[in-house]
Amino acid sequence: MSELDTRNHISFTVPAQPDRLPMSGLLALAAAGFITILTEALPAGLLRQMSADLAVSDALVGQLVTLYAMGSLLAAIPLVSATRSWRRRPLLLAGIAGFIVVNTITAISANYTLTLAARFVAGVSAGVVWSLLAGYAGRMAPEHLKGRAIAIAMVGTPLALSLGIPLGTMLGATVGWRYTFGGISVLALLLVGWVWWKVPDFEGQPASRRARLATVLASPGLKRVLGAMLAFVLAHNILYTYIAPFLALAHLENRVDAILFVFGVTALIGIGIVGALVDRRLRQLVLLSVVLFALAVVALGSASSVPAVIYLGVGAWGLAFGGAATLFQTASANASGAAADLAQAMVVTVWNVAIAAGGALGGIAIESYGAGALPWASAALLALAFLVVCFASRSGFPSTTQTC
């Protein structure tokens, strides 16, 4: 580490007790991630109600998710670059406040175009929040517990997928989708107070220490981390986006909720395992996750009409995917050092590219070969991810041995 890197590292680290984590602050960050995912995915669970109320087709309601991803994709790097001199807590609070505004607009809007615009702005807020979470969590923790802190901050994602979306869908069916989005606004308002109370503030980067985007991207191993993540997350989204037509092959199209619940529960287990081991076994965990995910999709592709295999395969898939955000964000933070926030913006951008591309490529696969082809497309991408990680043993996913 150079003298400049050392100065940067010290200036962005808050003193912490050697073996303790600031749990309340980290859980506040996790709650921010929970609200981000809940805001993003809830229209999928409330699609029919929103379609009828806004007088548009199901496909147009689906674009509310697409516009959200586009907002994150387009805004993450430019906004994070433009706000690197800002103090961190006000920037995080601004991102959370964005959710209060856009979810309130969504709750009261009767105009589809206005709702669509609000969703794009929601994606912009998500781009800011997601870009901050991992770097923020790392700064709040002692060096040897940084990965565990990031894992705790990321737990909001599987919680939103396993509990938030099903409960939000149920609430929307009971009291109406508008009240559900209004409820998210209330949660975001409460979170503002929680963050102000328990999350410490950090200074931004002065201009003299601010690395350029190209310089950060050239950090040893960062391109490998982003490449492996793109293949891994794309493999996930090709199958996850079209899980309903795939499940129809086993006549389980009416059990999507139960199967996604299995996915969410095992994803929670996965993030727990990753959180306990990531600081010591990052490379091994990434390789294990890729291999387990690959075995799961091969099983799903080979026995797509057998319900028992479907449940087991989805469970293994969730276990492999649960800690993915923690693994790749920890790797990118390690590779980028003091420029972690800008590197996390790249992670957010690549992640949302994978979401958008997953929908497009999965649709092409279904139209050309049928839903049974989805697991095999995912398997091919996972083979690529495995190779990238294997060849990133010196930087990106460093190894202490010479073997993969």
Q: What percent of the chain has pLDDT over 90?
A: 41
The tally of domains found in the chain comes to 2
Q: Are 370 and 274 part of one and the same domain?
A: yes
User: For residue 30, what pLDDT is reported?
Assistant: 95
Q: Are 217 and 260 part of one and the same domain?
A: yes
User: What pLDDT digit, counting tens, does each position of 269-322 carry?
Assistant: 998 898 889 888 999 999 999 999 999 999 999 998 999 999 999 999 999 998
45 within domain boundaries: yes
Residue 45 amino acid letter: G
Mean pLDDT of the chain: 85
Q: Are 106 and 117 part of one and the same domain?
A: yes
Q: Are 251 and 292 part of one and the same domain?
A: yes
Q: Are 219 and 205 part of one and the same domain?
A: no
94 within domain boundaries: yes
User: What pLDDT digit, counting tens, does each position of 373-401 carry?
Assistant: 999 999 999 999 999 999 988 888 987 65
Task: Name the domain boundary from 194, 210, 226.
Answer: 210
403 within domain boundaries: no
Domain limits for position 295: 213-398
User: What pLDDT digit, counting tens, does each position of 221-245 carry?
Assistant: 889 999 999 999 999 988 887 887 8
User: For residue 14, what pLDDT is reported?
Assistant: 44
Q: Are 121 and 253 part of one and the same domain?
A: no
Q: Are 107 and 173 part of one and the same domain?
A: yes
Q: Is the pLDDT of residue 349 over 60?
A: yes
User: For residue 1, what pLDDT is reported?
Assistant: 36
Q: Is the pLDDT of residue 191 over 90?
A: yes
